[in-house]
Amino acid sequence: MMEEPVSYMNNKDKCIVCFKEREKDFELIGHHVSYFPEIIAFVHYQCHAKIHDPDKPIAYLIQYEEGDSRKFYEEKTKWQVITDGLQKQILVWLN
Ligand SMILES: [Zn+2]
Ligand SMILES: [Zn+2]
């Protein structure tokens, strides 16, 4: 079974929304810009909330269709069942 490659829009030290460095002792979180293919952007927790702001979301960072998120996690769950026992580390991404 092939795993799709993951692309990252930026590195884990600088937020793609405000362009500031991560705060000491706080990891930036992974936001899914797209699920198919999988594209991740790293952002502050607060900046992540701005991306998903219901009034004015940051459109260029949301390139997936409604329903992709659910489909993605359904597939991930299947894959994790198959590889259960091999997988030492499970990364939990926020949407
Ligand atoms: Zn930020
Ligand atoms: Zn997100």
Domain ranges of the chain: 7-94
What distance in Å separates the CA atoms of residue 95 and residue 92, rounded to the nearest whole number? Answer: 10
Helix (H) or strand (E) segment spanning residue 7: strand 6-8
Q: Say which residue the tokens 């502050």 belong to.
A: 44
Closest ligand (CA of 28): 1
Closest ligand (CA of 35): 2
Q: Residue 7 has which token pair?
A: 């692309």
Amino acid of residue 16? I
Closest ligand (CA of 13): 1
Give the residue ranges of DSSP H helices in 13-67: 45-51
Neighbours of 10 (CB within 10 A): 15
pLDDT in 10s for each residue of the chain, 95 residues: 566 689 999 999 999 999 999 988 889 999 999 999 999 999 999 999 999 999 999 999 999 998 999 999 888 887 766 665 444 444 445 44
